[in-house]
């Protein structure tokens, strides 16, 4: 894969890192209400292709469409985008399957909650590692660009403009990663 292809993949991963749960939540909520993509799209004023592309993560909704979807399900946008809503219901189901009495062969509630907490910690650690990996890749792109731009003589004005746009995009991606690091710090403080 060429450098442009790697960069496009990198940008895609960074931008969708913050929308990680949206596709899963949309599919989960829609299915839990027994709605097809077409039925749901009609109810929120979109088309089936919009819903399909959101669920496949091939497109991100505009803020207006995200708001429509959140209003329909009566869910805050932060929860719709940042939390695994299916996991919450799975935890409730797991607790409901046990009665807290280990003598009858069912698992105690404390054990189920501890297991769920550990699963969450593992997901956070995976997110941290992925974010750190993206930061290293971004740094590599920045160093490569710096190296390529050391001798800008002979470059056309168009190439120079593209280089400036590329630098701006790198700055935006750095801001996204910074936001991810900040979220991780907040999660760390909450754990204590």
Looking at residue 8, its pLDDT comes to 60
Residue 8 CB neighbours (<10 A): 12
Q: Report the distance separating Cα 87 and Cα 77, nearest Å.
A: 17
Instruction: Give helix 22-32 / helix 63-73 axis angle, nearest 10°.
Output: 40
User: pTM of the full predicted structure?
Assistant: 0.47
pLDDT in tens, the chain (192 residues): 555 666 666 655 555 555 668 888 999 889 988 999 999 999 999 999 999 999 998 888 888 888 899 899 888 877 788 788 887 666 666 666 654 444 455 666 677 667 777 777 787 788 888 888 888 888 888 888 888 888 878 788 888 888 888 888 888 888 888 887 777 777 777 665
Instruction: Give helix 85-97 / helix 109-148 axis angle, nearest 10°.
Output: 160
Looking at residue 137, its pLDDT comes to 86
CATH classification for the domain delimited by 22-83, as one of 3.40.1190.20, 3.30.70.1520, 3.30.1490.20, 1.10.260.40: 1.10.260.40
Are the C-beta atoms of residues 25 and 58 closer than 8 Å to each other?
no
Residue 151 DSSP SS3: coil
Domain ranges of the chain: 22-83
């Amino acid at each position: 894969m060429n450098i442009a292809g790697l960069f496009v993949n990198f940008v895609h991963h960074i931008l969708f890192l913050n929308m990680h749960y949206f596709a899963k939540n949309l599919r989960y909520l829609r299915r839990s209400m027994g709605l097809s993509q077409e039925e749901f799209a009609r109810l929120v004023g979109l088309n089936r292709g919009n819903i399909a592309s959101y669920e496949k993560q091939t497109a991100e909704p505009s803020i207006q469409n995200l708001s429509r979807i959140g209003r329909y399900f009566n869910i805050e946008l932060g929860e719709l985008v940042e939390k695994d809503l299916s996991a919450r219901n799975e935890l409730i189901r797991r607790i409901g399957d046990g009665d807290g009495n280990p003598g009858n062969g069912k698992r105690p509630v404390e054990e189920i909650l501890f297991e769920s907490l550990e699963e969450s910690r593992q997901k956070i650690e995976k997110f941290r590692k992925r974010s750190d990996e993206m930061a290293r890749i971004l740094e590599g792109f920045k160093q490569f660009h710096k190296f390529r731009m050391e001798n800008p003589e002979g470059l056309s004005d168009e190439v120079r403009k593209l280089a400036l746009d590329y630098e701006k995009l790198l700055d935006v991606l750095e801001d996204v990663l910074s936001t991810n690091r900040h979220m991780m710090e907040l999660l760390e403080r909450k754990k204590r």
